[in-house]
Amino acid sequence: MHMDLETNLSIIQRQIATACENAQRDPSEVTLLAVSKGHKIDRVHEASELGLNCFGENKIQEAKLKIPQGPRNAEWHFIGHLQTNKARDAVRLFHMIHGVDSFHLAEALQESCEKQARTARILLEVNVSGEASKHGFSPAEVLEQIENLNDLDRLEIHGFMTMAPWTPEPEKTRPVFRQLNNLRKECEDIMGVPFPVLSMGMSNDFEIAIEEGSTMVRIGTSLFGKRSYAKKKA
Ligand SMILES: *Cc1c(COP(=O)(O)O)cnc(C)c1O
Q: What are the tens digits of pLDDT across the range 1-18? A: 556 999 999 999 999 999
- Map out the domains of the chain as residue ranges: 3-224
How high is the pLDDT of residue 72?
Answer: 94
| Residue pLDDT, tens place only, 91-124 | 999 999 999 999 999 999 999 999 999 999 999 9
Ligand 1 pocket check for 220: Cβ under 6 Å: yes
How high is the pLDDT of residue 152?
Answer: 98
Residue 177: closest CA among 188, 193, 161, 190: 161
Residue 7, Cα to own-chain centre: how many angstroms?
23
Q: Centre a 10 Å sphere on the Cβ of residue 69 and count the other Cβ atoms it contains.
A: 11
| Residue pLDDT, tens place only, 159-169 | 999 999 999 99
Residue having the nearest C-alpha atom to atom 4 of ligand 1: 220
Residue 15, Cα to own-chain centre: how many angstroms?
19
Nearest ligand 1 atom to the CA of 221 is: 8
How high is the pLDDT of residue 45?
Answer: 98
* Rg of the chain taking only CA atoms, in angstroms: 17
Ligand 1 pocket check for 33: Cβ under 6 Å: no
User: Considering the chain, what is the average pLDDT of its residues?
Assistant: 95
Distance 161 CA to ligand 1 centre (A): 12
Above 50 in pLDDT, residue 75?
yes
Residue having the nearest C-alpha atom to atom 13 of ligand 1: 79
Distance 35 CA to ligand 1 centre (A): 6
DSSP string, 5-20: HHHHHHHHHHHHHHHH
Ligand 1 pocket check for 218: Cβ under 6 Å: yes
Interatomic CA distance for residues 163 and 121, integer angstroms: 19
Above 90 in pLDDT, residue 130?
yes
Predicted model pTM: 0.95
Confidence of residue 229 (pLDDT cuts 50, 70, 90): low
Confidence of residue 234 (pLDDT cuts 50, 70, 90): very low
Q: Centre a 10 Å sphere on the Cβ of residue 129 and count the other Cβ atoms it contains.
A: 16
Ligand 1 pocket check for 139: Cβ under 6 Å: no
Give the mean model confidence (pLDDT) for residues 76-84: 97
Distance 37 CA to ligand 1 centre (A): 8
Distance 33 CA to ligand 1 centre (A): 10
Above 50 in pLDDT, residue 149?
yes
Q: Centre a 10 Å sphere on the Cβ of residue 126 and count the other Cβ atoms it contains.
A: 25
Domain 3-224 falls under CATH 3.30.1490.20: no
Tell me how far CA of residue 139 lies from CA of 56, 83, 125, 126, in angstroms: 24, 21, 10, 6
